[in-house]
Structure formats: C-alpha cells, structure tokens
C-alpha cells in the first residue's frame, strides 16, 4: 500500500471565535503508487485541509496518514521539514517562485537546502529541463516569465528532488485555458512515467486528466470515479454529470 488515509478528522477553532468548524470528518482512502488522483470539491468542502494534512503542514485532530508504511502524522516538528524535502513535491496555485533567484536557482532551491553537491543538481536539471520544455528559461528571472512558464518551473522545482508524491493545490487556477491544458498534459505525461500525483481542484476539466477523482463535500469523501480507459472528454462529461447529480450543481 502506497498511501493510506485512515479515519482522518480535523476541526478548527479560530482564534477570535469560540465556534468549532469540522473541516474533515472520517476521511478514508487508499492510493496506489503511480496514480494521478484529483480531489474535487467546492470551496469550504475541506479539500485544502486534506491536502495540508497530507503535506504535513497541518496535524489532524485524529486519524492517521501512512505513506509507504510510515505514519506521517506522528513525525516530530523538527523532522517534518526534512521529510517534506525528501518525500514530497509541491506545486502551488500562485507558483511561489522567489523573485530574487534566477529560474535555475529557484529549481535548485530544495536541493540547496538539502545540501546536495552542485554536480548532482546540474545532472538532475539536465535530465529534467527538456521534459518540461524550460531549457531556454533557466537563466531568466521569474518576473520575465508568463504564468504557464512559471508553473512549469514550479513543477521542475517539485520534481527535482525525485519525490514519492507530488501534491498540487489548484495548479491551474491562476492560468488561462491554453496554459492550463499544457500543464495538465504535462502532469499526465509525468504520471505516465510513474510519478504519483495528488491534485486538489474545483475544475472538472482539470480533474478529467486524472486517473481517479475523489469527490469531497462537507469534510467527507462521498464518491469516486475511475477513468478506466475513457478519453479526457468522456471522463470530463462523467465528472460533470456526477457533480450535477451529487453536489446539486455548481
């Protein structure tokens, strides 16, 4: 079993009010290595909280997350950053590239923080750059790039550590439809090469590129769809139908 989520609960108590919000209630699912899973839900459904817990950025109130037999919800704060660096890759909605670093240095950042040797960094980038079509961008500064280019650089930064799992939080939300398509095709391509990806999104088009879609509502996973060999368009139609009938439309 690659990733196992058991009875995950999370409740928030905001600092300024006494009310408790139940963000996740009894979430269970299993993911196999090499899957491309999309988690879909409206805003406030708990999908971002779920991603944050998988990313070890938040601790669950109860329940556990097991990645390759290791309970990640019990890792100590001191070791968490290291764990994230070695096992997880992140793609954010708004890219989060550092403007003060060149594109190349942005991609190297996690390796630099992990104290890799320069030769190793260069070797990995050389293998990775053509796949993501960013060879010409390496010497530029982030502000010179378009949104789509920025997100490809961010994907490179996520992939360069050879993570077990890529976590993507609404990666297409800040992109236009052409760049969105490009990015999703890229995700499909790296997934085909064996990379496990977990993506949170509220766009059915984005989700239609995944191999499996989990639907989350009011903090619970209540439905899932497998692609099962369908084309993107067919799968998209299925997802839309599911949303309309199950969520009551969006």
Residues that bind other proteins (CB under 8 A): 16, 48, 51-52, 55, 57-58, 77-82, 84-86, 90, 92, 94, 96, 98, 100-101, 109-110, 112-115, 157, 169
Residue 60, both tokens? 């669950």
Please answer whether residues 9 and 61 qualify as being in contact, where contact means their C-beta atoms are separated by less than 8 angstroms.
yes
Best CA proximity match to 208, nearest among 40, 31, 3: 40
The residue among 81 and 127 lying less far from other proteins, judged by its C-beta, is 81
Q: How far apart are CA 28 and CA 5, in angstroms?
A: 5
The residue among 28 and 79 lying less far from other proteins, judged by its C-beta, is 79
The residue among 87 and 230 lying less far from other proteins, judged by its C-beta, is 87
The residue among 105 and 181 lying less far from other proteins, judged by its C-beta, is 105
CB of 238 to other proteins, least distance (A): 29
Residue 5, both tokens? 């989520």
CB of 93 to other proteins, least distance (A): 8
CB of 111 to other proteins, least distance (A): 9
CB of 67 to other proteins, least distance (A): 16
The residue among 35 and 169 lying less far from other proteins, judged by its C-beta, is 169
CB of 84 to other proteins, least distance (A): 6
Residue with structure tokens 């609960």? 9
Q: How far apart are CA 168 and CA 151, in angstroms?
A: 11
The residue among 150 and 227 lying less far from other proteins, judged by its C-beta, is 150
Q: How far apart are CA 69 and CA 10, in angstroms?
A: 22
CB of 75 to other proteins, least distance (A): 11
The residue among 56 and 236 lying less far from other proteins, judged by its C-beta, is 56
CB of 204 to other proteins, least distance (A): 22
């Amino acid at each position: 079993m690659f990733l196992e989520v058991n009875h995950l609960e999370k409740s928030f108590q905001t600092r300024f009010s006494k009310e408790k919000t139940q963000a996740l209630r009894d979430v269970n699912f299993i993911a196999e290595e090499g899957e491309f899973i999309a988690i879909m839900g409206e805003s406030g459904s708990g999908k971002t909280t779920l991603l944050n817990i998988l990313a070890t950025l938040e601790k669950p109130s109860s329940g556990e997350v097991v990645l390759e037999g290791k309970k990640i919800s019990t890792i100590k704060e001191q070791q968490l950053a290291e764990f994230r660096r070695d096992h997880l890759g992140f793609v954010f909605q708004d890219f989060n590239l550092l403007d003060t670093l060149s594109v190349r240095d942005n991609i190297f950042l996690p390796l630099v923080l992990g104290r890799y040797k320069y030769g190793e960094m260069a070797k990995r980038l050389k293998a990775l750059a053509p796949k993501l079509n960013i060879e010409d961008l390496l010497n530029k500064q982030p502000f010179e790039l378009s949104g789509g280019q920025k997100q490809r650089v961010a994907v490179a930064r996520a992939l360069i550590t050879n993570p077990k799992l890529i976590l993507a939080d609404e990666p297409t939300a800040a992109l236009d439809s052409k760049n969105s398509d490009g990015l999703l095709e890229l995700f499909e391509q790296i997934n085909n090469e064996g990379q496990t990806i977990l993506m949170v999104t509220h766009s059915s088009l984005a989700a239609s590129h995944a191999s499996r879609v989990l639907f989350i509502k009011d903090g619970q996973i209540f439905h899932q769809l497998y692609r099962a060999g369908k084309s993107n368009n067919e799968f998209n139609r299925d997802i839309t139908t599911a949303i309309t009938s199950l969520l009551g439309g969006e």
